[in-house]
Structure 1
Amino acid sequence: MSRLIERVLIPTDDSDGALSGAKRGIALASRTGADVHVLSVVETGNEPPEYDDELLASLEAQAEGAVETVEQMARDYDEEVDVTTVVRRGIPFQSIREYANRREIDVVAMGTTGRAGIDRILLGSVTENVLRTARTPVLAVPPNADQPAIDDVAFDRLLLPTDGSDGAEIAAEWGIALADRFESTVHALYAIDTSPFSAIGDEVPEALGHRGETAVESVRKRAGDADVDATGSIATGSPTDVILEYATDEDVDLIVIGTHGRTGIGQWFLGSVTENVVRQADVPVFCVPVSADSP
């Protein structure tokens, strides 16, 4: 049987945010039997770098040190893990995306904040650009997430927000596959946001409630077919607030969410919802693009 995840890419600049992402990425790779690729990008832009040779050499030495740190973290945790380290010059998010595509990476694991100032290599904006353009899932670790040792990283309770869209369905497939691998519990959640329809009456909220029941039941049935324990909930409020509140109240370990959902008047999950969840969450967020292959 093929592995769920075969290659995990960990971008790093040796910042606290990047190392937090590395811990989750190493835990994910080790527990799925995946190889680890560690990438640090020296930002040079589209034009030839303005750095002199001495400064460029210093930045590349820092980048080499950054990938070696993560490599050592991975080997200390799992001496059998296969680790590849790479330093590139270029625009960070483009280099990450291109490396992921060329090396057939299955998941990119990264912190959402990095260095600031002239020595920056990885920034929050880099993560957002990766999220917008990646063809594979991105495990984004926000700065508010706790900082456990790799041994203590948990994937026991997974939150799967859904709106019944294609984007939510592919995210649910990934969430259930991860839950099956980790023997986790799945929490399916649908948010009824009635604020755009407050002057219309009760018909629209009732219809949304029916849609929510259908979406949640679809996730629960899929989980049941995979012998994964699942619960389902419907809550009223803005999707971002509902997701964050539920994650806190239920002490979930990971939010698995699509990066795009419905469009038009029925939209609930847009890229902006996922980005807001990533920015504000206290737990890692596993972001699945609609273009991602099924697990």
Structure 2
Amino acid sequence: MHAVYATDLSDAIETAINSRTCLECLKRYGIDKVELVTVTSPNITAGVPTGGIGKQTQRGLDRQRRILEDAGLSVSTRAVRGTPHRRINGVAEQVDAALIVVGSRGQSPLEQRYIGSTVRNIARTAVRPLLVQRIGERDDEHEVEREHLFERVLYATDFSENAEHAFEQFEHLETPTQEATLLHVAPPGRRAESETEDVPDAEVRLGKLADKLEGMGIDATIAVREGEAVEEILAAESEFDPTTILMGSRGKSRLRRLLLGSTSQDVIAQSNANVLVVPPARVR
């Protein structure tokens, strides 16, 4: 399967690319081809030949390509100009990527950051599953926050169609994932409303999903909480210490894109774990 790996050529992103453990996790997910993409501003032209890219950018891409190739991946590189989230999503469509990978921190020599609005915009518009990889900084040194990307997964579901589609990611996670926690957060005061004869209660529905994972060899536990979604997902993260949080990008809302800003995007912004966000199937 193909992955688009977004790089700003920073030390932070190179730290992630240098992590053999992270790369092995991607390979166990099923990734064998990588499109290494960097996006520069269309206004940066000094020293760049017409139709070409700067030498510094090319050297950075070549260096990171060799690291990925040494890990056993087939790699192509691209340096493009434009709006990062549009170009990255566009490349993902072109190569039919199974996954987009972006780092949550880092600043390039060209001052093009892949944090903040860029990551949010990619998450908001992504038409392919997006892995936001945490890269921390301690004592002026960068390090990946969770090397074993998919070892422990916290799956958050509101039982929407998109959440069900996100659960299908376990088909790729069967090999790298050892433990999974299945979480449903009921709105305050509404938990009892879903427990009717027509709609099985949350514990039963989560239990059925847990049985599927147990059949795949993944140890699964369930948790049902009541409260605000983001707050309870982050509380569950603190309790269960997942390496990755898995969730759909949109849920039960007529304003689907706005829902991302209130839930998935807030989790991306506030969590310490990696986050794997899956768009609705129909978006693809």
What interval of TM-score do these two structures reach, taking the shorter chain for normalisation? 0.7 to 0.9
CA contact (8 A) 1:191 1:212 kept: no
Q: 2:141 aligned with 1:141, yes or no?
A: no
CA deviation digits over 1:248-282, x for unaligned, max 9?
A: 211211111100011169x9x93121101111111
- In structure 2, the residue matched to 1:102 is 94
CA contact (8 A) 1:158 1:253 kept: yes
Structure 2: stretches of 5+ with no match in the other structure: none
Q: Give me the identity figure in percent.
A: 20
CA contact (8 A) 1:16 1:114 kept: yes
* Aligned amino acid, residue 23 of structure 2: I
- Given the two structures, how large is their TM-score scaled by the length of structure 1? 0.79
| 1:172 CA displacement | 0.9
* Aligned amino acid, residue 89 of structure 1: R
- Compared CA separation, residues 128 and 144, structure 1 to 2 (3 A): same
Report matched runs for 1:1-295 at 5 Å. Answer: 6-19=1-14, 22=17, 23=19, 26-31=23-28, 32-44=30-42, 49=43, 51-54=44-47, 60-76=54-70, 78=71, 80-115=72-107, 119-120=111-112, 122-143=114-135, 147-148=143-144, 152-174=147-169, 176-194=170-188, 197=189, 204-208=190-194, 211-263=201-253, 270-272=259-261, 273-291=263-281
The SS at the match of 1:213 is helix
| 1:167 CA displacement | 0.9
- Compared CA separation, residues 94 and 36, structure 1 to 2 (3 A): same
Q: Which moved more, 1:181-190 or 1:65-74?
A: 65-74
For these two proteins, the number of residue pairs brought into alignment is 270
- Compared CA separation, residues 25 and 103, structure 1 to 2 (3 A): farther
| 1:138 CA displacement | 0.4
* Aligned amino acid, residue 147 of structure 1: E
- Given the two structures, how large is their TM-score scaled by the length of structure 2? 0.82
- Compared CA separation, residues 82 and 121, structure 1 to 2 (3 A): same
Q: Partners of 1:211 and 1:56 in 2: how far apart?
A: 63
| 1:9 CA displacement | 1.1
Larger strand proportion of the pair: 2
The SS at the match of 2:281 is coil
Larger helix proportion of the pair: 1
- In structure 2, the residue matched to 1:200 is none
- In structure 2, the residue matched to 1:3 is none
CA contact (8 A) 2:22 2:149 kept: no
